[in-house]
Chains A and B, each alone.
Chain A
Amino acid sequence: MAASAQAIDRIAAAPAMALLDDAAELARFTRWLPARDGQRTGESSLRIGGMHCAACAGLIEAALRRVDGVVDARVSAAAQSATVQWDATRTRPSALVRAIEQAGYSALPDTAAGARALRLKESRAAVWRLFVAAFCAMQVMMLATPSYISGPGELAPDLKQLLDWGSWLLALPVLLFAAAPFFTGAWRSLRVGRIGMDVPVALGIGVAFLASSGAAFAPGGLFGTEVYFDSLTMFVSFLLGGRYLEMRARHRAAVALEDSVGRLPETAWRECADGSVEAVSVLRLQRGDTVRVAAGQAFAADGVLLRGATRVDESLLSGESVPVDKGVGAALAAGSMNLDAPVVMRVERVGADTRFEAIVALMREARTQRPAMLRSADRWAAPFLWSVLLLAAGAAAVWSVIDPSRAVWVAVSVLIVTCPCALSLAVPSALLSAAAAMARRGVLLRRLEAIDGLARMDTLFIDKTGTLTQKESGGVQMIRVDDGAHWSEATLRGRAASLAAWSTHPVARALAADRAGDATAWRDVRELPGQGLEARDPDGTRWQLGRCAAATLDERGLSSIAVDAWLSRDGQPLAGFRFAESLRADAAAAVAALQRDGVRVALLSGDTPARVERIGRLLGLTDCRGGLAPDAKLAAVRAAQARGERVAMIGDGINDAPVLAQADTSLAMGEGAQIARAQADGVLVSNALHDVVRARALARRSLRVMRQNLVWAAAYNAACVPLALLGWLPPWAAGLGMATSSLVVVLNSLRLAR
């Protein structure tokens, strides 16, 4: 009874929390995974507030996993976000949020507005703490100056006493308020029986303050007469300054991601059955709705253009900055911008199903995954911290024999100067900023390990159709299905080309570009949504280019012929057009660049060996294998792996999916089949092979940066710990050193993001 009353109280106290479970609200930060054995699994993104270092991620993950019904929980310290998979029959998102709050952090659904408020709060709190610490440190230093510059006996003992008391008063807010995050962080990790980065820091600050207070109020007692309030306040402000800069960098990355999310429009204008227009929320759009999109607006959902023609800016999706012409029937992607004219579209996919949402989800996934390299760094953190504590205790013991007055300060310096932060940030900061840079250049990574794989690959298998080659350009093949008596081949081709010139549809453009059209004066040209062009010739006969009625094709026995467009007269198909495939524009240059780079490039294709040979000759490749079934492709990749080669694969089709999963590193084309994209480690959004070359260069640079970071962090600790043990490093210098070494690592990694 009491328990249920408590539960009701909790819900009443947080009505916003209960709203989290509302289906429409849920859809804003949750996507539903394909059902496995009947259970409905949601994957929610949450933003976490109050995280200070990588160790917090583990605590939150543990707290989430304890909630009944949570299938999996991953927390990214760098992105300050959590991805939780939960069973809809056993738990609700509000329970997840409550679990995180009980662990001592705050959580919000990962939608832009809440996250912005959280960021503002976090940044205000950080500035406030930093100001208190830095301003007090300045004043304490002023009060400490007389005892540094005065000669022996020049400073009256009662004046020194007064100065020490003033310093103590000003150090108090620093200890109680500004340094609070270190103490709460240390307490949090101790409570769950782990050792975090904050433990040595909190211990150092606490010991320094207690010892200095003893010296200030009972001079000549146990702690001598020297006070170190100036060192204490200064290293707290150095540490907070370092954290503030880290926070700024993190916020910048978060804003960049949200800017891309924020480009989804909030309202849409839906056409009703009677032709009137109503404004509706994007969340209420359904498949099949007809939506008006004004020029300058973003498309609310993936769909097909029904009426009008325009140019579209798809730079968000493809990185391609040149606007793309869109005619009737063209596919529109949610989040891309309508530049020229008002158009009407039919909604095909909404919400979490859209291509844009899928890309954002991919990016989030990559950000929360912990690569193996990172996990090994986590493993090293605990022993490292323990040895720091032991070293500090040992130093205090040894110095209490040599010079008891310095024992406390040497121990404090050792605690402060060692910087596990630099070690633990070395790899993840480099990986994340490299992934962000690649995302901006059109390569979205699902797994961060792919960076390592891209840099080290020595064999690259490329699929031919759809990856190296593309349709809709080059030679047009015509298949005649008429009786052959009335029309010459040239007439039919000319007729089709002149009609096609009326449209901006990609197929029509390719057809019109193939040859000059004849001089037919078309009348009543109309472009029918999803059907193609329809027009009348001067005699009044109706011609169509595009789709042909399925019934007519069945009747004539033509439905098995695969063509890209039919030319029909009075509803009767005369000829079909098929587009020969051609190499992608940048394929040759990209392959050549990769080969110069020492990568062995080979073609694996299911197409006829002759065509594969031809493409291989064009690219100057010697290893071209055609006529391969998916399992033969798989065998080829396995054979290469058995020879000890590190294999990468680029593909696009359904038949490539198993091979993409087998290869050490795999990339899928952005326009490829969904399953190929789901299996690959990364996606080439703009379908440009040259992005692989650039991504590889970036990956090699990020490996270099990672090595630099690790060497720097190790060298810093190796150099500074002995100095502190020998007593040559005052606590303030130790604080400065620790903050700088973390900053050097983060800034070095940020070079990659440029």
Chain B
Amino acid sequence: MDILYLLIPLSTVLVLGIIGVFGWALHGGQFDDLEQHGAQILQADAGSVDPCQGP
């Protein structure tokens, strides 16, 4: 069970990393409007969701 002495610190650091990733996504505006993007595919005239992909 010695591996626990490595895994516990590792998981703690991993948690902090995940929190960082979520913070980046949140402040990039990905969670600002959760309903709007779901409804977007129903609008015929709406452009591509991701402008980089293009039609």
Contact = CB atoms under 8 A, between A and B. Distances in A.
Interface in A126-151: 127-128, 131-132, 135-136, 139, 143
Contacts of B12: 139, 143, 166, 169-170
Interface of B: 4-5, 8-9, 11-12, 15-16, 18-19, 22-23, 26-27, 31-32
A152 B11 CA distance: 26
B19 A127 contact: no
B24 to A, nearest CB: 11
Interface of A: 120, 123-124, 127-128, 131-132, 135-136, 139, 143, 159, 162-163, 166, 169-170, 173
A142 to B, nearest CB: 8
A124 B26 CA distance: 7
B15 A170 contact: yes
Contacts of B15: 135-136, 139, 170
Given A159-B4, A163-B8, A166-B9, A132 B19 contact: yes
Contacts of A139: 11-12, 15
A162 B5 contact: yes
Given A166-B12, A169-B12, A128 B4 contact: no
A656 B5 CA distance: 83
Given A120-B32, A124-B26, A135 B19 contact: yes
Given A124-B27, A128-B26, 9 more contacts: A120-B32, A124-B26, A127-B31, A131-B19, A136-B19, A159-B4, A162-B8, A163-B8, A166-B12
Q: 3 smallest A-B Cβ distances: which pairs?
A: A166-B12, A139-B15, A166-B8
Nearest to B27: A124
B22 A124 contact: no
Contacts of B5: 159, 162
19 contacts: A120-B32, A124-B27, A124-B32, A127-B26, A128-B26, A131-B19, A131-B22, A132-B19, A132-B23, A135-B15, A135-B19, A139-B11, A143-B8, A143-B12, A162-B4, A162-B8, A166-B8, A166-B9, A170-B12
A645 to B, nearest CB: 51
B14 to A, nearest CB: 9
Contacts of B9: 162, 166
Nearest to B26: A128
A560 to B, nearest CB: 63
A173 B23 CA distance: 13
A135 B26 CA distance: 14
Contact of B18 (A135, A143, A159, A169): A135
B48 to A, nearest CB: 24
A131 B8 contact: no
Contacts of A170: 12, 15-16
A120 B27 CA distance: 11
A131 B26 contact: yes
A480 B37 CA distance: 69
B6 to A, nearest CB: 10
Nearest to A142: B11
Contacts of A120: 32
A128 B11 contact: no
B17 to A, nearest CB: 11
Contacts of A143: 8, 12
Contacts of B31: 124, 127
A123 B27 CA distance: 11
A723 to B, nearest CB: 33
Contacts of A127: 26, 31
Contact of B19 (A123, A124, A159, A173): A173
Contacts of B22: 131, 135
A2 to B, nearest CB: 39
Nearest to B5: A162
A402 B32 CA distance: 52
Q: Could you say which of B11, B15, B23 has the most chain A C-beta atoms within 10 Å of its C-beta?
A: B15
B23 to A, nearest CB: 6
A143 B32 CA distance: 32
A143 B11 CA distance: 10
A63 B45 CA distance: 51
Contacts of B18: 135
Contacts of B4: 159, 162
A170 B32 CA distance: 27
A303 B4 CA distance: 78
Nearest to A135: B19
A203 to B, nearest CB: 27
Contacts of A173: 16, 19
A133 to B, nearest CB: 10
B12 to A, nearest CB: 5
Nearest to B32: A120
